Structure 1
């Protein structure tokens, strides 16, 4: 009987050793010094204006084996940077960003879609000025590798989507100032 117990234990240990190791989701913290959401729009049909936000926080979760992930980003809307201080103040007024009442915007993913090993689209909920709408960020670049200086696992990505600012109660001067706003996010996140 003792021999059967030993043989059973050996078989269980062998089976456990042969079973694939399942990767767990890994969490990465947004590197605020290398993450910049920007937005662009047509100004009176004369030019495409480009502005950005300087303060972004959040996390990215990635499970490479399961090909799943999650993105949770908060943007400090008061950190808007148009390149011109007077316009930074103007765009924070109630007709546009209304940062006094809504100091942050958020993006919370509902699904990350993969093609092979790389995410190609992130579906989620974008909240600006208290209005939440579904959006899809198209991932145009993605890399996951050790950071060459910090020696920590890092994610780098670029993604883009187009929204209508009027749907977020920020449509003053539309259509002369374009209603379509392209949001582009350059993101780097470091594994915790």
Structure 2
């Protein structure tokens, strides 16, 4: 009996790391540039991006659970035109003086097999928090070929109405609906 208990205890100790399988990944700010797209006066779709993003993704492969926490530096908006960058950082749009960051914090991640397919969470822009669902259009987990560390990458998309975040000036001429794309790469913490 004692031998059976000792064997069971040893097996539990050996298997314990398998149960504690949450991996934490840190956003690679050199390969994560969220962008947003809107219609301008009915003429064309305009696409702008942010150049500074940080955050973490915690992922338990076995349990098929994950948590996503992303922070975008709203002052890093890049339209390709310095004067317009300043304009949309003003009080009518991002109001970066009072709200320098945009955040997304997940509340649930849905999986299809081993891959996440959607992420529910709270998006905060200009101090206003709204629930959104990001559709994950692609996902990859593999060793990074150059860094030789585990890495993940994903593309996700959602649509919001900017008026719901107190940033609806010039709607409907400049569309109220905005599509947000988040291409993300993250490296596992060691």
Q: TM-score, normalised by structure 2?
A: 0.94
> Tell me, which stretches of 5 or more residues in structure 1 are unaligned?
none
**SS of aligned partner of 1:171:** coil
Partner Cα separation in structure 1 for residue 168 and residue 73 of structure 2: 20
Deviation at 1:5, TM superposition (A): 3.0
Show the counterpart of 1:120. 117
* Aligned equivalent of 1:168, options 161, 165, 176: 165
Q: Which residue of 1 aligns with 2:22?
A: 25
Residues 1:36 and 2:6 aligned together: no
Rounded Cα–Cα distance in structure 2 between residues aligned with 1:7 and 1:89: 71
Relative to 1, partners in 2 of residues 1:177 and 1:25: Cα closer, same or farther, differing over 3 Å? same
**Mapped pair 1:145 → 2:167:** no
Partner of 2:79: 82
Q: Unaligned stretches of 5+ in structure 2?
A: none
SS across alignment from 1:190: strand
CA displacement at 1:24 relative to structure 2: 1.7
In structure 2, the CA distance between the partners of 1:18 and 1:91, relative to structure 1 (3 Å rule), is: closer
* Equivalent pair of 1:23/1:65 in contact (CA under 8 Å): no
Determine the C-alpha separation between the residues in 1 that align with 2:65 and 2:162.
Answer: 30
1:181 to 153, 165, 178: 178
TM-score normalised according to structure 1 size: 0.93
Q: Provide the residue aligned with 1:58 in structure 2.
A: 55
Deviation at 1:14, TM superposition (A): 7.3
Which of 43, 46, 58 is the aligned partner of 2:43? 46
Instruction: Provide closer, same or farther for how the CA distance between residues 81 and 18 of structure 1 changes in structure 2, counting only shifts above 3 A.
Output: closer
- Equivalent position SS for 2:86: helix
Q: Say which of 100, 103, 107 aligns to 1:106.
A: 103
CA gap of 1:80–1:7, structure 2 versus 1, over 3 A, is closer
Whether 1:72 aligns to 2:69 is: yes
